[in-house]
Amino acid sequence: MLNIVLFGPPGAGKGTQSQKLIKEYNLMHLSTGDILREEIEKQTPLGIEAKSYIDRGELVPDQMVVGMIGQALDQYRNVSGFVFDGFPRTTVQANRLDAMLKEKGESINLMMSLEVDHNELVNRLVNRGKESNRTDDQDVSIIRNRINIYNERTKIVIDFYKAQNKYRAVKGMGSIDEVFHGLCDAVEAYK
Ligand code: AMP
């Protein structure tokens, strides 16, 4: 299996690049943000609980997203690998992901982190807010809160994968195709 964590702050382009990676390498896309938005849409108890966190730009509790990923790993058995998008976002989540994969005789192969300047992130999210109905992209103070939380709680996950020699920084500025080439270079170098 080829298991990739696609990492980076909100607005780095993880969703867009995940779509391209899964096509190129025939992988399964697992986005906790997408799964949570589906749960909200369906008004499940999990979705209703998650919505209050998401609307404030806070992280939902670890156990919630860990449970979701655990279910997805059980559900999609015969795939050639996963792209984890927006997960793990805390060191607790990273540890749990390792443990869940280990139970299946698997592991993360590569963690690629998209690097984008702060101002560019805010611009991209404000623009995305105009085009989509994502509630958490509508308000600059919520956008700033999400970026702060990334810096305070999520960025440190880099150290977790650095220690395993799996971390690769990839330039996230530039065109979608330029960024994608950077990601593919990192995957090919790994292979
Ligand atoms: P995203 O689509 O990845 O930007 O996620 C949207 C929102 O869902 C985030 O701002 C969090 O509130 C929540 N969320 C998504 N993934 C996670 C995660 N791994 N841990 C905690 N909260 C998450």
Residue 60 CA to ligand 1 centre (angstroms)? 7
Beta-strand (E) ranges in 8-49? 28-31
In 3D space, the residue among 33, 44, 17, 2 whose CA is nearest the CA of residue 137 turns out to be: 33
Give residue 133's pLDDT band: very low, low, confident or very high (50, 70, 90).
confident
Give percent of the chain above pLDDT 70: 100
- pTM for this prediction: 0.97
Q: Quick check: helix, strand or coil at residue 30?
A: strand
Q: Please give the mean pLDDT across all residues of the chain.
A: 97
Cβ 89 under 6 angstroms from ligand 1: yes
Per-residue pLDDT of 150-174, as tens digits, reads 999 999 999 999 999 999 999 999 9
Give residue 1's pLDDT band: very low, low, confident or very high (50, 70, 90).
very high
Cβ 87 under 6 angstroms from ligand 1: yes
Residue 37 CA to ligand 1 centre (angstroms)? 9
Residue whose structure tokens are 């807010």: 129
Asked if 88 and 155 touch (Cβ cutoff 8 Å), the reply is: no
Q: Tell me: pLDDT of 42 over 90.
A: yes
Residue nearest to ligand 1 atom 19, measured at CA: 87
CA distance 33 to 125: 15
Which amino acid does the sequence have at 132? S
User: Could you tell me the domains of the chain?
Assistant: 2-190 (3.40.50.300)
Per-residue pLDDT of 101-131, as tens digits, reads 999 999 999 999 999 999 999 999 999 999 9
Q: Tell me: pLDDT of 147 over 90.
A: yes
Mean pLDDT of 94-104: 98
Ligand 1 nearest atom to the CA of residue 89, by list position: 19
Residue 177 CA to ligand 1 centre (angstroms)? 25
Cβ 10 under 6 angstroms from ligand 1: yes
Mean pLDDT of 33-48: 97
Q: What are the phi and psi torsion angles at 68 (to 5°)? A: -65, -45
Alpha-helix residue ranges (DSSP H) falling in 57-103:
62-75, 91-103
Give the rounded distance of the alpha carbon of 43 from its chain centre.
Answer: 23
